Amino acid sequence: MTEKFQDHQIRDILKINYKYTMGGQSKFFIEVMKNKKLFGTKCTKCGKTWMPPRINCSDCYEPADWVELNQAGTINVSTIVWYTTSAFIKAVPYGIGFIKLDGAETSLLQGIFSENLVPSKIKKGKRVKAVFNKEREGKMTDFFFVPEDEYENWISKPEYEGGV
Ligand SMILES: [Zn+2]
């Protein structure tokens, strides 16, 4: 009689230090980190304004120029997050949504925080505004959106500030 295979497993942590580049989209992250500005790109041929920025227009493949966008926008679609990775677990529950910034023709997927998070606060058509962490690293998590009527409360908290 053959013995049944028994798999021995040990839970461990794998830690890897590495660098990665944002490539042609680096300006977006540098402007968020250093200047609290949100930059999209505008196609040099058809004029479409992309947010998140595209280095080349995804419609006509021509180069796009950097353009600063308004930090307020409208929610196109959203949901409330209850399950997430360890990086965001402390923020649960929080909203995420596709937000069309004023002046952009495409939408950015980003976190939407609220002091009173209920679906009606972050539904389609609601106006939101960007809030920045005071300590920024040049990452998407350097900023998030809040309902416009909560903006002043959020930027008065010690860890956050408004954009430029
Ligand atoms: Zn184009």
Domain ranges (residues) in the chain: 23-162
- Is residue 17 predicted with pLDDT exceeding 90? yes
pLDDT reading at 48 higher than 90: yes
The residues near 134 (Cβ < 8 Å, ≥ 6 apart) are: 158, 159, 160, 161
**How far is ligand 1, taken at its centre, from the CA of residue 88, in Å?**
35
Gap from CA of 42 to ligand 1 centroid (Å) = 8
The CA-to-CA distance between both ends of the chain, in Å, stands at 74
Residues linked to residue 141 through DSSP beta bridges, in sequence order = none
Distance 64 CA to ligand 1 centre (A): 8
* pTM for the structure as a whole: 0.88
pLDDT band at 14 (very low <50, low <70, confident <90, very high): confident
Q: Which of 102, 86, 48, 42 is nearest to 66 (CA)?
A: 42
User: Is pLDDT of 1 > 80?
Assistant: no
What pLDDT shows up at residue 41? 98
Copy the structure tokens of residue 59: 């419609």
Q: Which residue has the higher pLDDT, 38 or 91?
A: 38
Per-residue model confidence (pLDDT) at position 89: 86
> In angstroms, what is the span from residue 65 Cα to ligand 1's centroid?
11
- % of the chain beyond a pLDDT of 70: 99
Contact of 126 with 101, CB cutoff 8 Å: no
Task: Give the distance (Å) from ligand 1 centre to CA of residue 51.
Answer: 13
Burial 95-113 (b: 16+ CB within 10 A, else e): bbbbbebebbebbbebbbb
| Distance from residue 7's CA to the centre of ligand 1 (Å) | 55
Q: How far is the CA of 63 from the centre of ligand 1 (A)?
A: 8
